[in-house]
Structure 1
Amino acid sequence: MRWVLRSKIHRATVTETRLDYEGSITIDEELLERSGIWVGEKVTVADVNNGNRFETYTLPGKRGSGIIAINGAAAHLCDEGDKVIIMAYELVDEPIHAKVLLVDSENGVARELVY
């Protein structure tokens, strides 16, 4: 069995950082659904601006809001306006195709790809 990329939200813009929060990353519910990432799922977040990488879990944000909020301790690792890549993986014994959302500057879906 191998860990493979299942879903990715590519170059989303961080809209908020909230240090005084119980933790996680809040993602627009529409982006979660379209990418196939579940609420509560563990994700890896890579900050394109500074190279920081961390793991957390997802929470749903208001549908259509474009919210990408870095919460809790991870808020020290990103700044508002940073570009991030949000990745979810799956442990499988056969190859799968990853669903990838390319987003615009307001975190709307610009394109959907399958790897």
Structure 2
Amino acid sequence: MLRKVCKGKLHRLHVTQADLNYMGSITLDAALMHATDIRPHEMVQITNLENGVLWQTYAIPGAEGSGVVCLNGPPARHFQPGDTIIVLSLGWMDEAEWESLRPNVVFVNEMNQITNVVTENPYEVWNELRDNTGRS
């Protein structure tokens, strides 16, 4: 069985631009993409904390260290400069891939510069949960 999982998260980014006349996507500072293993043209899920909009589009790299977070094309109607968003990198994985999954959760400051990276171990959390509940 394949499971859809979060393989990386950019937590509380700040939208810097919205360009309605671009053909579509989200432009992200390349350093942010690298920190969460988001590859060019990979599909991502974006949640706007200001209005609750959930959007899926593909990511394209912006200048490294620039802090750019630009919603291009149609999402520019739902994401405005200053909005706080969460970007999730999702993937389908089998059991073996999931057991070795180590997603990064990337925290940023108000300029979208990385302040902290937390690497999670979902397999370890799952085993601890099973041990504490007595379920297998």
Q: Fold conserved (TM > 0.5)?
A: yes
| Whole-angstrom CA distance in 2 between matches of 1:73 and 1:93 | 33
Superposed structure 1 runs of 4+ greater than 4 Å apart = none
Aligned length: 115
Q: C-alpha displacement at 1:107, in angstroms?
A: 0.2
| 1:26-65 matched pairs, under 5 angstroms | 26-65=27-66
Computed over aligned residues only, the root mean square deviation of the Cα atoms, in angstroms, reads: 0.8
Structure 2 counterpart of 1:113, from 110, 115, 118: 118
Q: Relative contact order (C-alpha < 8 Å, sep 6+): which is higher?
A: 1
Report the structure, 1 or 2, having the larger strand content.
Answer: 1
Which residues of structure 1 form unaligned runs of 5+? none
The TM-score normalised by the length of structure 2 is 0.82
Report the structure, 1 or 2, having the larger helix content.
Answer: 2
The TM-score normalised by the length of structure 1 is 0.97
The aligned residue for residue 97 of structure 1 is: 102
Q: C-alpha displacement at 1:28, in angstroms?
A: 0.4
Q: C-alpha displacement at 1:97, in angstroms?
A: 2.6
- Secondary structure of 1:79's counterpart equals coil
